[in-house]
Structure 1
Amino acid sequence: MNEQIEPATDEGFEAILDYLKETRGFDFTGYKRSSLMRRVGRRMSVISCEDYGDYLDHLQANSDEFGALFNTILINVTNFFRDPDAWDYLQSDIVPMILAERSPDDQIRVWSAGCASGEEAYSLAIVLAESLGLEQFRQRVKIYATDVDEEALAQARQAAYTAKDLEDLPSEYVQRYFEHTAGRYVFHKDLRRSVIFGRNDLVQDAPISRIDLLVCRNTLMYFTADTQTNILRKLHFALVPRGVLFMGKAEMLLSHSRIFDPVNLRYRIFRKVPTGIQNTSPFGHPLIPERRSSLEQVDELRALTFDSNPVAQVVVTADDALALANQQAQQIFTLTDRDIGRPLRDLEISYRPVELRPYIEQVRMERRAVRVKDVEWQRGPGEVLALELHISPLISLSDDIVGVSVVFHDVTTNHRLLAELATANRQRENAYEELQSTTEELETTNEELQSTVEELETTNEELQSTNEELETTNEELQSTNDELQTINNTLRDRTSELDDVNEFLESVLTSLRAGVVVVNQQMRVVAWNAGAEDLWGLRSEEAEGEHLLNLDIGLPVAELRPVVRPALADASFTEQVVLEAVNRRGRSVTVRIACGALRNRRGESAGAILVMETLDGISDALPDVKQGTARGDGDRR
């Protein structure tokens, strides 16, 4: 990685870094100053701090500010299968190569350094589960996912993501590896046990050891060149011999070629160079320059070493001839020295226990190792061998394939013991992880209970306040009820008075022998006394509410219009008319009708009063009586 010139540092800024290291245990002195100063400045602008000294005072006085600053510095940008082409290459070429170089029961240890919220770690789990199968994945794989951000690790342990987080993930992966629960997608619990999350500071903490595949993508870019060198030494130590390092597209490793060799520079995949070996092929195989050995019998030693190998091995030349077969291979496959040099197709080993030639051709074409698992061979009556074949290309210094090595691992004898040990280890690890998970759940439950207690206390206070308010409301309602009772008594008294007034008015109208009719401004009858009923034979309930001119009685009511209309308009109007009519007994009578305005308290006309009497037997004082009655009624109204 090319070094960049750091900007001039500031004593106040360095004081902030020293304070963070001393009080919080986080050492950011190895980070690039330009990135750090930009992110600290962003936080300072949020709280309106002018210089680093003021911000340091703010940090010392406000403990909550550290969390906000930490989240600003450690920007966790991640998603599933970030840079898909690189992940496709990892799945199609690198993982099969790693598996082919290990025995069927070897544990596969993977480290995701800088895992953030867990997407990278679960992407690795999906890749390995696809290559091994779910059962083998659960038995053999351990993925260690680390970060310095505790908040991000807590989120990663939940393994719960939104639909937007999974939008770039193939639908078959979503269906196979996630459960849809409460609107979120949760990684399957039985596979989740193989992923272990923990805090690790790449700058200060010791690395995890014996790692087969180490993924550290877009993390070193935040550190200075010297810090990157120290971290890379730790990553080199963490890997097993020929272990694989998978980095981000922004990280080149060009200055560290002495400890890592590129497998694919485009996708930033490297292999560990064992200590003391400086040159390797593009595919990670050590290339030892030819030199004259000081040992006189080196060829004999090589032959004896190959021949005494307890694992059966044969070597096929580039033109498909059997070049070498060690003693174990000769014994198992009944080969002899006469078979050396013969074409492979003429030998039984070419098709038994498995068809070898297609795999050998695949190794030559793809220039990578191939592993063939679960091969069962009926060697003899009642004797069944379980074999696993490792087929690897032999590459010369000129990068040519000069042959192919085929190793036959006999996994029959120790298969059951290894399976039992693996089961016991898995159960122990599962028990530990379940214990850890239970501890985390208990801590979470304790926090939830504490929160519930606080909520109940708050609710109790709110209920107490509500009770006081209800008591106050009850007192107000009691006061209102007393007021309503007083109003009710007043209304009852007024109703009684009105009843007396109505009774008085009714008695006045009843006492008058003349017929009295009262109409409103619409000329509708509002009063019809007994005299009118006796005169015309129409009861009060039949007349009241009807229009005066629509009454069907012996009186020619149409001729009353010229008399009534002026009374409705003029409060001082009075007039008398004499009409011929027929009474209720069917007799012709002469009726004198006096009409006057019905005046309200303001002296305005509110209707008209008509007083009707036949002229037979009327005293000379009758007109005065009728006019007086009309005026008296009007005054009373």
Structure 2
Amino acid sequence: MTDRTEADAALEDLLLFIRDSRGFDFTGYKRSSLARRIRKRMTEVRIGDYGDYRDYLETNADEFRSLFNTILINVTSFFRDLEAWHFLQREVLPELLAGLEPGQEIRIWSAGCSSGEEAYSPAIALAEVLGIDEAVERVKIYGTDVDEEALRDARTGMYSAKALEPLSEELRDRYFEPNGDKFVFRQDLRRRVIFGRHDITRDAPISRLDLLICRNTLMYFNVEAQAQILDRFHFALREGGFLFLGKAEMLLSDGERFEVANMRQRIFRRRAGETGAMHTPGQPRLDIGLGEEVQGFVKRRLLTELALESAPFAAVGLDTEGKVTVLNAQMRNQFGLTPHDVGRPLSDLELSYRPIELRSLIDQALAEHRSIRVNSVERRLGPEDPQYFDVHVQPMWNGNGPHTGVVITFVDTTVATRLSHEVKVKREELETAYEELQSTNEELETTNEELQSSIEELETTNEELQSTNEELETTNEELQSGNEELETMNEEMRIRSSELDETRAFLEGILSSIAAGVVVLDGEQRVRSWNRGAEELWGLRAEEVYQQYFAVLDFGLPTESVHDAIADCLRTGKRTAAVDVPAVNRIGRSITCSVTCTPMDGLRHAVVLLMEESPAIPPGAQGN
């Protein structure tokens, strides 16, 4: 077993241990980002092996909180990706409200809400659309996350001025109230936001939702976990409800249950007619790169339309639901149909029963898996103006799978009926046209297979791009989290530096205010402080003597005379008696300098020298 395989197995064991001991199931998370976050925490506690870290967790219960805070990257803000929120407020919310009864409750779920900013954001957006009073009556928002510590912050509704920077001053004043150096979300709307712990990979979803917000959360999960989560989201939304994803997430492969409301802003709508029962979709996934128009293009019926449009006879194409998907020029001209009839059910058109009942022919063709042909069908435009058609019902099959549609052709045989001598020619033309149609269908089949192969290659590439994009987004949020930590540390350092500067200025002020000379020596007896009194006494400025050895300084005091006093002070750790030393002050006058040596608290081997000029002794006083 290789080292990497052993590390992967050890990581899986660690994840199972976390799940069984604390109920946090990270097994559905992407292993690359998950391993990176766990390694970051292991580095902080100086542990290099997953097994050793598991032992550390068993003996240090508080470590779980630090680990979870590292794994769960709580990067969020009010109205994150402002352009997407503007589109939601301007386009989506009015459409959502139009589909509800007056006074009906508006239900919203913010999944992965972290510290609450993305749960309070829709509350503000709806209050702006409805008015605050109506929003208080109708809006109910559920904010969920797996991080209990983040949820505690969310429940307080209290944020710093920096956290509110994305909001305009007007919105901040309208929805937040000052509380010390922070701001609190207004209480009437706050009561409409409910926070609770919820694991979107395991817990039952909240139901009957009008809007589900889950932004940059799915990108942390692997494909299987994403499929399970999207299944729960589909169940949670009511018919026509909206799903709002993050900028790194796009839902395309589950198009049977979700349709695109705005791809750029990552907003999707639950399709009408879908049941609310939870089921496992056929490999839905988050994808990136393919546009919706490409999916429609690869459907074979669109290619069939192109062939039918150029056919020399009237033809209509139907999809699997019996709706008209294409009308060629001959069909429009002979039967009075228009492009507006495309998309209508065939049963709504006169063509379905006149000049012949087509619905029974279509059912027969599909049941018998063959084409149906009816010759010489009469159509009367007037008493003396009959027309005759050969009607051909051709099911279209996708290999051995279900049928993809039906092509119905009407070949005008009026002239052939009237002029018998042209019957043979017309028949040959029809047979030739039929063979051409069959040949065209075969070519379309071949083209479709080639397109399908290309689509599979594109899907593989898109999956790789999506995975890379999600990794980059995860790394970006990790960097943002680290940057916020550094900003906090910088602010603390700035405060401490300011306090130190203030303290230093205070001490220097004290030293400067002392008339006597004060000199501070460090453990190597270098000068660390030289106050103004020392400058006035000896004529040397502080910058001239700073970091110089005291013993080699050349000024009016013979430094060797105080060497013993300094040694006694360092040896005993006590203040020495004053030593009178003959000296010469800065103006060249002989004086007697009284030097006192005191040990300095808090700095090892440092001493403070206090130097004062002794008062002159009156003549004759010594004899007395």
Band of TM-score, shorter chain: 0.3 to 0.5
TM-score, normalised relative to structure 2: 0.45
**Considering only CA atoms, is the larger Rg found in Structure 1 or Structure 2?**
1
